[in-house]
């Protein structure tokens, strides 16, 4: 993953939350998309939608509609739903992209990730998001060190998780995961970023 792009994404999401935006967009890359899906899974963002330079329709920005299978199928067919980027093969429909909604090599640069931000009691849920590994200093840790970080202990220059709801995301050979999921699967990896939620 390009840590420079990730640094821009962290800064953009933090600033968009502070500006009280409901919807923002980021460049579409596989790694950034997987990180955003992890943020959605852990409740930091509301929706993640694949699209083009224009925002997706409001129906695509609704939370996951598992109770309404027909609406979910409609969103799947329109291309506006949070699914892995590898699930959209070359030439398939990708909602909101120009040229009839078909992904080609000509319009690949116009693809965007549209992120719906969450708020609670008029405060952003994603309050702070910052890099742990830097482009000039990547931090790799085995499972034992990840366990100590999750318990709140300091490992090297990396502070442990101490805040309520604080999360740290790690890139592994099996994809991007939250630190506690890495502990369950007994795999280490490179620390990407840490996220602090709103304090109640």
pLDDT mean over 63-76 = 55
Q: Sign of dihedral through CA atoms 77, 80, 85, 90? A: positive
pLDDT over 50 (residue 66)? no
The fold of the 132-197 domain, in CATH, is Dna Ligase; domain 1 (3.30.1490)
Pairing of strands 45-51, 175-178: unpaired
pLDDT band with cut points at 50, 70 and 90 for residue 153: very high
**H or E element: which one contains 24?**
strand 23-27
Tokens 């800064």 sit at which residue? 11
Query: In this structure, are residues 35 and 6 in contact, taking their beta carbons and an 8 Å threshold?
Result: yes
pLDDT over 60 (residue 83)? no
Determine the Cα–Cα distance for residues 178 and 35; give it in Å rounded to an integer. Answer: 10
Residue 49: the pLDDT is: 86
Determine the Cα–Cα distance for residues 97 and 112; give it in Å rounded to an integer. Answer: 9
Which of 43-52, 66-75, 147-156 is most confident? 147-156
Reading the block at residue 33, the tokens are 């998309």
Residue 134: the pLDDT is: 92
Average per-residue pLDDT in the chain? 81
Determine the Cα–Cα distance for residues 15 and 19; give it in Å rounded to an integer. Answer: 6
pLDDT band with cut points at 50, 70 and 90 for residue 81: very low
Tokens 């990396």 sit at which residue? 158
Tokens 């996951």 sit at which residue? 64
Residue spans of the domains in the chain: they are 3-123, 132-197
**Which of these ranges, 9-18, 84-93, 96-105, has the smallest mean pLDDT?**
84-93
Residue 59: the pLDDT is: 67
Give pLDDT tens digits for 165-199.
Answer: 899 999 999 999 999 999 999 999 999 999 988 76
pLDDT over 80 (residue 120)? yes
pLDDT band with cut points at 50, 70 and 90 for residue 108: confident
pLDDT over 50 (residue 131)? yes
pLDDT mean over 99-114 = 70
> How far from chain centre, in Å, is Cα 128?
14
């Amino acid at each position: 993953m390009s840590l420079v792009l990730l640094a821009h994404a962290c800064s953009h999401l933090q600033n968009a939350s502070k500006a009280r935006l409901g919807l923002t967009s980021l460049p579409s890359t596989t790694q950034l998309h997987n990180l955003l899906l992890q943020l959605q899974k852990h409740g930091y963002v509301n929706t993640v939608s694949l699209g083009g330079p224009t925002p997706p329709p409001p129906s695509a920005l609704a939370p996951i509609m598992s109770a309404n299978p027909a609406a979910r199928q409609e969103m799947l067919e329109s291309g506006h739903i949070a699914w892995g980027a590898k699930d959209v093969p070359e030439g398939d429909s990708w909602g909101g992209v120009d040229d009839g909604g078909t992904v080609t090599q000509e319009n690949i640069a116009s693809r965007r990730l549209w992120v719906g931000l969450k708020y609670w009691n008029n405060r952003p849920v994603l309050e702070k998001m910052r890099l742990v590994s830097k482009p000039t200093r990547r931090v790799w840790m085995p499972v034992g060190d990840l366990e100590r970080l999750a318990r709140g202990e300091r490992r090297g220059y990396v502070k442990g998780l101490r805040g309520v709801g604080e999360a740290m995301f790690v890139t592994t050979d099996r994809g991007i995961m939250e630190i506690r999921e890495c502990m369950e699967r007994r795999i280490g990896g490179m620390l990407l970023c840490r996220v602090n939620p709103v304090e109640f």
